[in-house]
Every structure is written in structure tokens, then in C-alpha cells.
Structure 1
């Protein structure tokens, strides 16, 4: 595992997946071992509509780099800096851009670029642009139709999650604790707000969420913070989880899952052991339940779908926090964040399997292996298709066969 800020940061796979989900070498505590791969009779089948490959993927790094959609295209990238746009329906390549600096040697004449990686971590489309966040502290803007780099801007911290684009701004939550808004037209900084960061945190950061003129971000300090989108002024912050325990590792409370909003309610999940519903009008916690996790949660009608730090899946009622169902069949199999696709909640695991759970009762309905590489990125849904990118850069477009 390759880490930056090693003295202050822990990779998720070290802090949680290994420490809590367990290593196969731990023979003393079987509760920490990955569950056996399920064996089921599939209730339907899926079809790979098209498949593409983007560079080297994320290689040996822990990265939840996910494709972006928009303008009838799918945009995918590898960590080093290669970005490709594909026609959404057919998978036909539209353009491909290497965002690294141009190779400054004869190697450029034979198509080799040894320039430093830009370490892409997340992307979003808006305003006819593809906005790209990089771990090296940069935001790039590319033309969605040609792949031309329109501008790039430096920010004061690593970009560890996808930015958002709202109100003519590109807004990103940084690993340094800064939340920054850039002008979507030219990349100039419009505002920069800072929150406290503990000495030890999970290596990650939640993407911001926008609603009703506010920007909501999860903090490494266990709080959800709300900034005015126009000015960056802090409106309120609410502690979702408080540090507990004698060691720094035990006191980790990061809110790395992107907050989810429904009406006037915001839902946030902390690695410190709390799933909370917050009334955004009063900044008051409506209910709080004991779940610990760092993967994004999904909203489906009146229930939240999520996984905890040991890859146990849950459905929780948004109104009361009451658990509708749980499923332990993938316990400690290091599942990805899930997505709602038709009647199913879909997650991937460390052996490259994709699982479809009935979202009403939590029963496993279907599974298939995409390849032998682990799945890290959250699947995405667009126009009736499910898109999944693997560690090695393979991009799949799937559909359910009726």
C-alpha cells in the first residue's frame, strides 16, 4: 500500500478493512475472516452491453475512482492521468486525453510519457465541462466534447473525492480540511473555508452535497459542516460522532461517506460508529443509530441502504432509524459502496464479484464475477445501465436481461 502523509494518515484498507474486516492470516479470531463466497441460484441474468479499458486503472493503490456521466457520455480515467470519453449507448471511444505534463524527451515520439502521475481521484460533469480532482492538489477542467484541457487550478490539499459543480462553481472537500469553491469558467478561487483535522484520520474525504443554497460536507473531526454556497461562510456544524477510546486509532470519527439529503433531512455516516439524521432547518439531530462505516450510503424512497466497516449490509428507515433488514453474507469481504439499480442494491467485493440484493428484503438474488481484480469503486447507474470500473481499469456497461 502506497501512502502519503504516512505519519498522520491511515489508508482505509489498513485502518478499517484490515484492522476490523480482518486479515486471512488471523487464525485466532474467525469473526475477522472474510465470509466464504456465497453460492446461490441466480434469479435472473445480466448482459455486458459493452466493455472498455482505461490505462492501468488505479494499480496497487486504494482508490475509489469512479466514472462520471453526462452529455450522453461515460467518462473514465486511470489514476496516472489518462481520461477517456465513451458513447453511453455503444461504448465507442469519443476522445482520450493524457492530462500529465508532456514528456520532455525523445520518448514522446514513440508514445511514452514518464511525467509524474496527476493521481486522479474523482470527476463530475457540468457546464459542458468535465471537472477532475487530483491527489496532487489540482483541479482540471476539460471540454466534454473534445477532451481539451481548458484550465487547471492548484488547491491547498489533496483531492480525495469527486468535486461537485453548482451555482457556477466547482466545490471540493480536501484532505487538509479545506472546502474550496472555484469559478467553473476559469478556475479562480472564490472562497476557501477550513475545518479542524485530527492528528490521525482515515485517508479519505467525503464529497460535498449541495441543497437549497448550502454546501454540506463530512469532516474528519466527526462533524457535518454547512457552508453558504455563495460565500463559503460557515452556517452550522453538527457533531455526528465524538472521539472515544484510549488510542488515536480508536478515536477515529471521520465522516467520509457523502451526506445524503431528502427534503429537509440530512443523513450522515461516521467511521466512529454513528448513522444520524439531521434536521437542516434547526441543525438538530433527529435520530442517531450505532452503525460505523466509511462507504457512501444510498437513498431509496424512505430507506437508507448502507454497509458498515465489516461489510454487513443494512436497510434503515429514514423516518425513524429503525432497521428494516440486515445481511451478513458478505461479512468482511470489503464491499464497495452500493448503488440502487432497478429493484436491487448492488455492491462489489475484493474478488471481483458483483452482487444484487433485493432492496425490499435484503436477500441475495444474483451474483457474477466481472474479473479477478478487486472492485473498489462504487457502481453508477445511468439511463438503465449499470457501469462498473475495476481496479485494473476495465469499464463494464451491464444490463439486466428481461
Structure 2
């Protein structure tokens, strides 16, 4: 027969639970397609949005609703939240802010947004697809400042980027660079390169930092899409690259004070030493499976896959500890933890809470 067949992921084999896990509750939110939306956690609150504009805040202790809302229009980015206020961006480029589930205000944006807004310090920060960053007053919606990037690239990545608060600095990803901004004015405090464009066409030269991010103290570790993984030491008015290594994944990283963990595009899971990038272990047990970014939880590294499985691997060596099934639609976002509960969201809108036995 002419042509090759698509590679099939190997069978997972028998599940021998070393770590006890049980489903504590389940809930629903609208289905998500065409947008990878983040899940936001504050204390016991888990805030989730669907791509069609449904939002819900769930109490992770019980699985019950704190509030629900429907915006009636599709979303391109979300969710940002500080427990009271929630921010999302519609596909019509509107920044929409809700106060305890009730719409408070909205503002038109000049560019598309694929990264969840950051709600912090009485402001909403938005990283747009054109690499511009804007700040809005959380109470009034008034634009406070805009930091535009000159010389935009021909292509942009339709995936969540990097925007986070590190001390009193707003840290964002702009192409292959991590940039520290003054959150009051938008002025640049520092910037460091983690990846550079390569190749001869626009697709090969596309470079972007992607979420999620692993931050421990002054150490911030990130992934550049299909290019590298690296860690940066951040101080208020300066930053330096501690290490950066070639890596071919498309999802963000997570970690602890000793190591960071990531998934490659071929399904391999890798652990690197946080202080110098030395590879600690690599597992191909989940090869050819499309995996989420990892979550470090207890003695486990937790990952979801496109078939609906949640995998628990040992932080020490990548050995399997357990796996549990959700539904067959696959994960829409990386797993999160709230109130000692592992929370995952599937593309069909299933929300599941798991706890140790």
C-alpha cells in the first residue's frame, strides 16, 4: 500500500494503582472548541469558562456552584480572576469583566487575544496576539497604559502565552523573550532572550513563550513553543537566564524547588533539575499521546491526555502511580489543584474533582 499509516499510541497496559485516587464530585460547563481556556484557582474557588461564553465558579470542597453566568458570545481567552472579579476576552475582541458573576464592564480591544487576562492589584492586564500589553482599571474599565511591540511578526500563535505577577513586576512573554514591566506605567524594566527565530519561512521562524509557568521565589521557568525550556532568575530591576535547553514541546511547564517537568510533542515526559537544567529523568510511557502541561501534586506529576485519561507519574523517576478516566473528549486545560482537590476540565464540558483515597 502506498503511503504510511498514522502512528498509534502504544497500549497503556494494566493499571496497578500505587497511589489511591477517587472521584469526589463532578460538574458541567459548556463545551470548548477552538479555544484553549485556562482554569483559575483562588483558595477553594475554581473559575472556568467555555468557548461559547458560559462561566462558572465552583467550590472545590463540594463541587457546588458559587455562581454561573452566560455571556451569550464565544470567547477567545480566559479566565483571569482574583476571586471577586473575573476577566475574559470575546472573539469579537471585547475585554469583559464580571463582578461575582455579573457583568461589570467591557472594553473594545484593538487586537485578538489568546492569553487569559491577569487580574491583580486592582487592574486587569491583557497580553494581545500582536505582543502588545495593556492595563485597565479593575473598577472602571479605564485604560491605564499600553505597551506596543514594534516590528510585529507575520504569524502569531493561537495559544495562551505568558503573563504573570512576580513580586511588583509584571512578567510577560514577547516572542522568544521574557520581559519585565512596571505594572503602574508599562515601562520595560528588563528583558532576556530564551529562544530565537530559526528557519527560512514564517512558520519555522515562529517563536513564542507559552503558559503554564513554574515560579518558585525568584526563579521563573518557561517553555518557548517547539524551541526550548529555560529558567530565569528575576529581581525587580533585572533578570538573567540561568539556563536554556532545546526542547520540542508545545505546552507549558510546572515544578517545585528542585525540578521542573514538561511534556514533549511526542508524548515524552521530562524532568530537569531546576538550578542548572540537568536532565533528571525521561519517560516514554505516554509516547504518541497528546498531553497537557503537567501539574506537580504531592509525590506525583499529573497530566491529562486527549483520550480523557489523567496520569499520575512519580516525581522521583516518572514511574506510573495510577491513572483515572474522565470522559473520552480529552482535556481542555492543564490540571489544577484547589482545596486539596485535583480539578480537570474536558472538551465536552465535564468538570471532575479527584482526591486521594
In the other structure, the counterpart of 1:363 is 319
Matches within 5 A, 1:71-150: 72-100=44-72, 117-126=73-82, 128-144=84-100, 147-150=101-104
Aligned equivalents of 1:394, 1:272: Cα separation in 2: 29
Structure 1 residue 269 and structure 2 residue 241: aligned?
no
* Residues 384/234 of structure 1: CA separation in 2 closer, same or farther (3 Å cut): same
Count of residue pairs the alignment pairs up = 352
In the other structure, the counterpart of 1:64 is 36
Contact 2:25 2:353 in 1 (8 A): yes
In the other structure, the counterpart of 1:213 is 168
Contact 1:74 1:87 in 2 (8 A): yes
* Residues 234/319 of structure 1: CA separation in 2 closer, same or farther (3 Å cut): same
In the other structure, the counterpart of 2:138 is 184
In the other structure, the counterpart of 2:159 is 204
- How far 1:293 moved relative to its partner? 2.4
Contact 1:120 1:135 in 2 (8 A): yes
Q: 1:374 aligns with which of 311, 326, 330?
A: 330
- Secondary structure of 2:23's aligned partner: strand
In the other structure, the counterpart of 1:35 is 9
TM-score (norm 2): 0.91
Aligned equivalents of 1:188, 1:174: Cα separation in 2: 17
- How far 1:190 moved relative to its partner? 0.8
In the other structure, the counterpart of 1:318 is 274
Q: 1:52 aligns with which of 27, 51, 56?
A: 27
Contact 2:225 2:251 in 1 (8 A): no
In the other structure, the counterpart of 1:174 is 128
Which residues of structure 1 form unaligned runs of 5+?
A: 1-24, 101-116
- Secondary structure of 1:201's aligned partner: coil
- The farther-off stretch of 346-355 and 73-82 is 73-82
In the other structure, the counterpart of 2:286 is 330
4+ runs deviating over 6 angstroms: none
Q: 2:307 aligns with which of 346, 351, 362?
A: 351
* Residues 155/54 of structure 1: CA separation in 2 closer, same or farther (3 Å cut): same
Contact 2:45 2:83 in 1 (8 A): no
- The farther-off stretch of 135-144 and 76-85 is 135-144
More strand by share: 2
- The farther-off stretch of 205-214 and 355-364 is 205-214
Contact 2:295 2:302 in 1 (8 A): yes
Contact 1:175 1:204 in 2 (8 A): no
TM-score (norm 1): 0.82
- How far 1:87 moved relative to its partner? 2.9
Q: 1:383 aligns with which of 339, 348, 356?
A: 339
